[in-house]
A = this chain, B = another copy of it.
Amino acid sequence: MNCLVVYAHPLKKSLCGSLFEVVAQALADNDHDCRFADLYEADFDPRLSGTERASYYAAYDNSGIAQEVRDLEWAEVVVLVFPTWWFSMPAILKGWFDRVWAPGVAYDHDANLGAIKPRLKKLRTVVAVTTLGSPWWVDRLVMWQPVRRTIGTAILRSCAPQARFFMLSLYNSERVRDNQFNIFRAKLRHTISRNLR
């Protein structure tokens, strides 16, 4: 499978960096064809520009993100590895969605500005791997899982409704114990090895 791995943490030596290594190894073990997009390393600018916004309802000008567009259109699997800050994506990853998951790439506008039309027909699986400081019950019972809803419901149902979505959240990440982290990594390895088909 064509697998695009998006990494959105400013440091490589971090819990997310360690989870990225697990993903890369599991994909290699299963002989998938991989592309890696380390957004910080690539100096990706997450700000949808004035030119992009002005062309959003005409012919979207994606000339500033040509490589990112090619990678997304190529992908059958997308794996996202990122920290959750304030119960939402870090700015650099939000901007990747704002700019790259755009008209003519990820979806098409409806002629009457009704529901948008999916365009990522090749995309079969999306795996979101994230760390967050809060305990599980705040994310689920107080916040109603805003990251899961944003990616899994709002974005994927609009752009790739056929894709399966897996979300793996490492809670209490600021004080996670070694054995808990090892269990999480094993679960991640298992998810990647079993579900990409």
Contact = CB atoms under 8 A, between A and B. Distances in A.
Interface of A: 9-11, 14, 40, 46-50, 52-54, 57, 85-92, 94-95, 97-98, 101, 113, 133, 142-144, 146, 149-150, 153-155, 174-175
A8 to B, nearest CB: 10
Nearest to A99: B91
A9 to B, nearest CB: 8
Given A10-B48, A40-B47, A88 B94 contact: yes
Nearest to A172: B113
A133 B56 CA distance: 13
A7 to B, nearest CB: 13
A60 B150 CA distance: 29
B149 A113 contact: no
9 contacts: A14-B53, A46-B95, A89-B94, A90-B94, A91-B98, A92-B95, A113-B133, A113-B175, A144-B144
A155 B86 contact: yes
A175 B57 CA distance: 12
B87 A98 contact: no
Counting every copy of the chain, the complex holds 2
A149 B144 contact: yes
Interface centre among A11, A53, A90, A91 (most CB of B within 10 A): A91
A10 B146 CA distance: 25
A53 B88 CA distance: 16
A98 B85 contact: yes
A181 to B, nearest CB: 15
Given A47-B91, A144-B144, 12 more contacts: A9-B53, A10-B53, A11-B53, A46-B47, A86-B97, A86-B101, A86-B154, A87-B150, A88-B89, A94-B94, A143-B153, A146-B149
A86 B10 CA distance: 23
